[in-house]
Structure 1
Amino acid sequence: MFRVLPTLTLTLTAGLAAALLPAAAAADPVTVQSCNREVVFDAPPQRAVSNDVNLTEMMLALKLQDRMVGYSGVSGWKTLDEKLRAGVKELPELSPKYPSKEVLLGADADFYFAGWNYGMKVGGEVTPETLAPFGIKVYELTESCVHIMEKDKASMEDMYADLLNLGAIFDVRERAEALVAGYKADLADFTAKLGAKAEPVRVFVYDSGEDQVFTSGRYGIPTAMIEAAGGRNIVDDVEASWVKIGWEAVVERNPEVIVIVNYGQVTAAQKRAFMMKNPAFKDIEAVKNDRFVTLEYVEATPGPRNIGAIKRLGAAFHPEMF
């Protein structure tokens, strides 16, 4: 009997230690800045939903498919190219445009990666506040924060911040840090080749519209991309991210290059033809010299394809340098 007691004691002690291990090893809560909010995550999300192609590609770049239950906001405006289609594989598109609260609840989502005018509208039914009672936490795209708070001019750091914050939220920090470090090194190498001698060219972003034009202003990521590529957005003084303006301002500021964003029912070729054939634009240098460059929507919005797009822009702005 006296030999049994120590064995029993050891067994109980080992069992007690095993019971305590999970609590001791549990990850500490993670706090990230999302626009003007601090959001606390007690554990990585397991049933995430992303809205729009560029935000979905951020999730895919971090290899978070297994933490997702679907995506939204693609087929209502755009199409999935082969790269993105291969990435999402079996994930369903929960809504062709912005998802409703019921759609997110029906998917049993615990996380929504979206932005203002990227899946959420100010005062709309789907916001961080309306989803909170249902246990759905929201991380907001940094570029979009200007819709609800004061923000600095667009920077590539906005996109990097989103990837790093997602890395923290989903406990894949090293993966996110390596990805961002690679993007930064790639961009630094390109800008070194571009050189300081390149005089910035005047650039206009033509997203859509004929009576008025929808373009990207001071707070849109194209402004940061254009600057990194050796250009200057002619409307970088407009206090907006994406905004409608009159064509008169475009004619007056006379861009040397026009960047067309390709998506939707009106193709890039049709947008170019509209400008080339309209007598009102005949004196614009970009039109006279037929200097247009096309970016896909997923390249012109914050996401993993921005760096490759900057290189293409740089080659179009300064062909003599390449």
Structure 2
Amino acid sequence: MIFTRLRAIAASASLVTLVALTGCGASEVVEDSADAVGQGDTRYPLVIENCGQTVEIERAPQRVVSLDQNSTEILLSLGLAGRIVGTASWTDPILPSLADENEGVPRLSDNAPTYEVVLGADPDFVTASFGRHYNEGGVVTRDRLAETSVGSYLSPTDCDNGISVNGGGTRTEPLQVEALYQEIQELADIFDVADRGAALIADLQERATAATEGVDLGGRSAVFWFADTKTPYTAGGFGSASLLAELTGMTNVFADTADDWPAVGWESVVDADPSILVLGDLQRDRFPGDRLDDKIAFLTADPLTRTLSAVQRADFIALHGAEMNPSIRFVDALEKIRTWALEHQDEGEG
């Protein structure tokens, strides 16, 4: 059902509306970095409806700040390293295949930067995966950026009916991977590398189809634990991690929760006694238990969590944080789940 739509989207040349107001694999970098001119396919001014805002781009941005790892890796995959003047909010190391491209890109902050730091990079465009950066009290509002003639963009994966989910809204329907593909093609059009966007989407679709072919975990129950040992953040039913469960035949224990990452009590996890624990391996130290080893140490030592069947069997699937968030790394997550599933194909619910 989902992948029928995924294959169909590759045939689309663009997912944005190009308006003339006057008369570029998830794990592979597109060859040849885009120059300042681009491919010459985008007609400027370009107008895009972006999560409740109308964004008008007069010319291809030359100095972009990416406020999240997810958007950074899309830009790098499109061959735009030379235009990135700053990145921030990293949960994991860069994809190995993007390491060379990323080497010369300034990191403004491992977490969210201040507005002054962003301003110091002198951007003409700012992208974000999560709308909290654009909230009052976040990095900077989109209105304030507009006042200084700096364009802004928010990933459609964080948008529901024109409202940012991570900016204070709530999902009303499950996230679909088409929103990620829309982000890729829109950014490709904004930077005038439309062909590269289409090629990246096609590569992701091919890998996702291969990763899910023949994989069905038969409805085995699962909890996706992102971070925090005290009050764990686990995957709700409408976000990206629950989409991974759907695509591989798992049943998300907290599928009836609309929040992307609701904080739950360990008692509710133990009561559910999931068959599989999908553990976030975050290479940061923002919350207790960000890293995989710390999560496993907690699970096996805590008097409550060590009673879990999945803990006793060590039925753990480890995913990077970026693989659990909406990003091009969703295919890496599907490939890891496939490997685990094939290794445990003879096991039942247990």
Considering only CA atoms, is the larger Rg found in Structure 1 or Structure 2? 1
Q: Quick one: which of 242, 246, 252 aligns to 1:227? A: 246
* Residues in 2 aligned to 1:320 and 1:277: alpha-carbon distance in whole angstroms: 25
Deviates more, 1:113-122 or 1:288-297: 113-122
Does residue 85 of structure 2 align to residue 69 of structure 1?
A: yes
* Partner in structure 1 of residue 258 of structure 2: 239
Change in 2 beyond 3 A, CA 1:33/1:318: farther
* Partner in structure 2 of residue 313 of structure 1: 337
Amino acid across the alignment from 1:172: V
Q: Quick one: which of 202, 210, 213 aligns to 1:181? A: 202
* Partner in structure 1 of residue 148 of structure 2: 134
Amino acid across the alignment from 2:105: L
Does residue 78 of structure 2 align to residue 57 of structure 1?
A: no
* Partner in structure 2 of residue 301 of structure 1: 325
**Any stretches of 5+ residues in structure 2 without a counterpart?**
1-21, 24-39, 159-163
* Residues in 1 aligned to 2:259 and 2:136: alpha-carbon distance in whole angstroms: 15
Does residue 110 of structure 2 align to residue 96 of structure 1?
A: yes
Deviates more, 1:206-215 or 1:29-38: 29-38
Verify the 8 A CA contact 1:99 1:119 in the aligned structure 2. Answer: no
Q: By how many angstroms is 1:176 displaced?
A: 0.7
* Residues in 2 aligned to 1:300 and 1:50: alpha-carbon distance in whole angstroms: 19
Equivalences for 1:3-152 in 2 at 5 Å?
27-74=43-90, 78-80=92-94, 82-116=96-130, 119-121=133-135, 123-124=137-138, 126-144=140-158, 145-147=164-166, 148-149=168-169, 151=171, 152=173
Change in 2 beyond 3 A, CA 1:69/1:167: same
Change in 2 beyond 3 A, CA 1:120/1:314: farther
CA deviation map 1:200-246 (0-9, x unaligned): 22111112222211122133311112221221221122111122111
* Residues in 2 aligned to 1:317 and 1:180: alpha-carbon distance in whole angstroms: 25
Equivalences for 1:148-187 in 2 at 5 Å?
148-149=168-169, 151=171, 152-187=173-208
* Partner in structure 2 of residue 260 of structure 1: 279
* Residues in 2 aligned to 1:306 and 1:125: alpha-carbon distance in whole angstroms: 26
Change in 2 beyond 3 A, CA 1:161/1:88: same
> RMSD of the alignment, in Å?
2.5
CA deviation map 1:165-207 (0-9, x unaligned): 1112111111111211221122123323326xx4122111112
Higher RCO (Cα < 8 Å, 6 or more apart): 2
Verify the 8 A CA contact 1:52 1:118 in the aligned structure 2. Answer: no
What percent identity do the matched residue pairs reach?
27
Q: Quick one: which of 225, 248, 251 aligns to 2:267? A: 248
Change in 2 beyond 3 A, CA 1:314/1:120: farther
* Residues in 1 aligned to 2:117 and 2:178: alpha-carbon distance in whole angstroms: 32
* Greater share of residues in helix: 1
* Residues in 2 aligned to 1:308 and 1:91: alpha-carbon distance in whole angstroms: 23
Q: By how many angstroms is 1:87 displaced?
A: 2.2
Partner secondary structure for residue 287 of structure 1: helix
Q: By how many angstroms is 1:301 displaced?
A: 1.9
Verify the 8 A CA contact 1:215 1:244 in the aligned structure 2. Answer: yes
Change in 2 beyond 3 A, CA 1:311/1:85: closer
Verify the 8 A CA contact 1:206 1:259 in the aligned structure 2. Answer: yes
* Residues in 2 aligned to 1:191 and 1:134: alpha-carbon distance in whole angstroms: 46
Verify the 8 A CA contact 2:170 2:259 in the aligned structure 1. Answer: no
* Partner in structure 2 of residue 204 of structure 1: 223
Change in 2 beyond 3 A, CA 1:125/1:272: closer
Does residue 298 of structure 2 align to residue 274 of structure 1?
A: yes
Change in 2 beyond 3 A, CA 1:92/1:156: same
* Partner in structure 1 of residue 9 of structure 2: none
TM-score, L = length of structure 1? 0.83
Verify the 8 A CA contact 2:134 2:142 in the aligned structure 1. Answer: no
* Greater share of residues in strand: 1
CA deviation map 1:273-308 (0-9, x unaligned): 211222212442211211011111222222222102
Q: By how many angstroms is 1:55 displaced?
A: 1.9
Q: By how many angstroms is 1:29 displaced?
A: 2.2
Change in 2 beyond 3 A, CA 1:280/1:99: same
Q: By how many angstroms is 1:123 displaced?
A: 5.0
